[in-house]
Chains A and B, each alone.
Chain A
Amino acid sequence: NAGVTQTPKFRILKIGQSMTLQCAQDMNHNYMYWYRQDPGMGLKLIYYSVGAGITDKGEVPNGYNVSRSTTEDFPLRLELAAPSQTSVYFCASSSREANYGYTFGSGTRLTVV
């Protein structure tokens, strides 16, 4: 019962560096999402995917990229990290069968210095 697995759990990046946040789910969910949550703020949707090969922008996509080559995996790429990208990143998945209730990963805490 792994659910949604995110790696790494913590990361410190220097300004201008790049990294990939990994997300994998084993529930055969079609829909996957990336959110960021800043302190005291609500969840903001970065990118989402409705199935393998299909991705689309959410509310705050600038500075990020995604790919969805398989149903299971949905990595988030940060290019040229900036301090404004310091946040907690959550990956989630859902399905029609689950009435679209989301299952979240445990999050990645990213600090850009």
Chain B
Amino acid sequence: RKEVEQDPGPFNVPEGATVAFNCTYSNSASQSFFWYRQDCRKEPKLLMSVYSSGNEDGRFTAQLNRASQYISLLIRDSKLSDSATYLCVVKWAGNNRKLIWGLGTSLAVNP
């Protein structure tokens, strides 16, 4: 089983749609969780951290399910500018250097 696993997609959705991505992780000792966004040929950028209680930032909602070892990202009212690859990232407890990166889920929002 991969350490961090994501559906590569692509997800093709119309503008205004709601879309959700899941990411599963294998290490139950994982401590911190993040979603990054990467545009084509650009660097990854931190979208949001994922907290145990779940968190929301505008149209984006992230949730963590420790029992089932997955995190999710929900995007509401999709915009064309949301088209990108979304990377799931997990940090193992006690090791600041060990970020495990998923391969990403590709999203294309269509007019």
Q: For B49, list chain A residues within 8 Å (CB).
A: 99, 101
Q: A103-B46, A104-B43 are in contact. Are A41 and B96 (CB under 8 A)?
A: no
Q: How many A-B residue pairs have CB under 8 A?
A: 47
Q: For B43, list chain A residues within 8 Å (CB).
A: 90, 104-107
Mark contacts of A53-67 with chain B using CB atoms, 8 A cut-off: 1 yes-contact digit, 0 otherwise: 000101000000000
How many residues of chain B get a CB closer than 8 Å to chain A's CBs? 19
Q: For B96, list chain A residues within 8 Å (CB).
A: 31, 50, 94, 96, 100
Instruction: Answer whether residue B42 sits at the interface, using C-beta atoms and an 8 A cutoff.
Output: yes
Q: How far is the CA of A104 from the CA of B101 in the complex (A)?
A: 14
B85 → chain A closest CB, angstroms: 10
B102 → chain A closest CB, angstroms: 7
Instruction: Answer whether residue B59 sits at the interface, using C-beta atoms and an 8 A cutoff.
Output: no
Q: How far is the CA of A40 from the CA of B99 in the complex (A)?
A: 19
CB-contacts of B75-111 with A (<8 A): 87, 91, 96-97, 99, 101-104
Instruction: Answer whether residue B25 sits at the interface, using C-beta atoms and an 8 A cutoff.
Output: no
Residue numbers of B with Cβ under 8 A of A are 32, 34, 36, 41-46, 49, 87, 91, 96-97, 99, 101-104
Shortest 3 CB-CB distances between A and B: which pairs?
A104-B43, A43-B101, A101-B46
